[in-house]
Amino acid sequence: MTDHPLKTLRFRIEAALVGGLLVIVRLLPLTTSSWIGGKLLQIAGPLLPAHRTARSNLERAFPEKDSSEIAGILRDMWNNLGRTAAEYPHHDTIKAEASERLEVHGGALLDELVTRPRPAVFFSAHLANWEVLPIASAVRGLPVNPVFRRPNNPFMTALFEDRRPHPDVQLIAKGPRAARELLKILKQNRSVALLIDQKLREGIPVQFFGRDAMTASAFAELAQFVDCDIYPTRVERLPGARFRATIYPPLAKPDTTDRKEAVRQLTQTATSMIEDWIRERPSEWFWVHRRWPD
């Protein structure tokens, strides 16, 4: 935490404003809040510098699409991101109304981990409202411990901790201690979850939309170290602040004794799956991120 008085004051004010905004949004019905958030960012998003990054990414990923198609994806992408932000204060509602708001495909895989506890690694991407995935496992009685990026503002950390969908869920902050914490959790026959679709300088290069992209391979390294299954997981947006979460069967084990090559193969397989999901629903991915080298 910073000791500079002015910076500390700015962080406190920022946290208070964000906290107050979340309280206001929480007063609205979930479906209304989601709709308003989508419309607001659909208007404001194209005015932000990140809009140019998203357009450039889309044009490179989909050279076959014309400008009107790209514009439509961008419009719907901002709508999705606005909805996701406005749904943040309503995670408890999504969980409480899971029978109406959340379809879970592959739930039997989660049930099996509940009845026969063992270590498991889940991976996913910033698709639709990716925050729904821990809720989907929690409603089946399986606390999955996700990795998250600690906010720059230390006074906003509580906002992340409050989103835990299960009392036994432990949030693991990215950083030098994350690997040790994840290994400790796995050795306790518990599950962890990682989002692997953002650029990571310390990652490994794999193909993503026809170009090399530095990709986080920690999920594969952990699974190799502990010898556990890796489950692909995906969320899709449905009308009316509803969602479909899919848990796929574990990735096949690579046919190699070379651990480094096994990690590379698993990372490529997972990244290719994510690319397929994005191609199916391009407007639900986080295109504003600088995923590839310039």
Assess if residue 187 is contained within a domain.
Answer: yes
Total domains in the fold of the chain: 1
CA-CA distance, 165 to 121, in Å (whole number)?
Answer: 18
Domain that holds residue 254: 5-284
CA-CA distance, 48 to 62, in Å (whole number)?
Answer: 22
Q: What is the pLDDT of residue 1?
A: 46
3-class DSSP assignment, residue 184: helix
pTM as predicted: 0.91
DSSP β-ladder status, 144-148 and 191-195: parallel
3-class DSSP assignment, residue 54: helix
CATH number, domain containing residue 142: 3.40.1130
Assess if residue 24 is contained within a domain.
Answer: yes
Q: What is the pLDDT of residue 165?
A: 72
Assess if residue 52 is contained within a domain.
Answer: yes
CA-CA distance, 179 to 208, in Å (whole number)?
Answer: 25
Torsion angle in degrees (nearest 10) through CA of 152, 154, 158, 163: 10
Q: What is the full per-residue pLDDT of the chain (294 aa) written as tens digits?
A: 445 677 676 666 766 776 677 778 789 999 999 999 999 999 999 999 999 999 999 999 999 999 999 999 999 999 999 999 999 999 999 999 999 999 999 999 999 999 999 999 999 999 999 999 999 999 999 999 998 776 666 666 666 666 667 778 888 888 778 889 999 999 999 999 999 998 877 889 999 999 999 999 999 999 999 999 999 999 999 999 999 999 999 999 998 889 999 999 999 999 999 999 999 999 999 999 999 876
Assess if residue 293 is contained within a domain.
Answer: no
Assess if residue 294 is contained within a domain.
Answer: no
Q: What is the pLDDT of residue 283?
A: 98
What's 64's DSSP letter?
T
DSSP 212-250: EEEE--HHHHHHHHHT-EEEEEEEEEETTTEEEEEEPPP
> Residue 174 is encoded by which pair of tokens?
């990215």
Assess if residue 40 is contained within a domain.
Answer: yes
Whole-angstrom distance between the N-terminal and C-terminal Cα of the chain?
33
CA-CA distance, 273 to 124, in Å (whole number)?
Answer: 10
Assess if residue 55 is contained within a domain.
Answer: yes
Q: What is the pLDDT of residue 82?
A: 95
Half-sphere exposure of 288 (CA within 13 A, CB side): 17
Assess if residue 292 is contained within a domain.
Answer: no
> Residue 56 is encoded by which pair of tokens?
């450039």
What's 207's DSSP letter?
E
Q: Could you tell me how many residues make up the chain?
A: 294
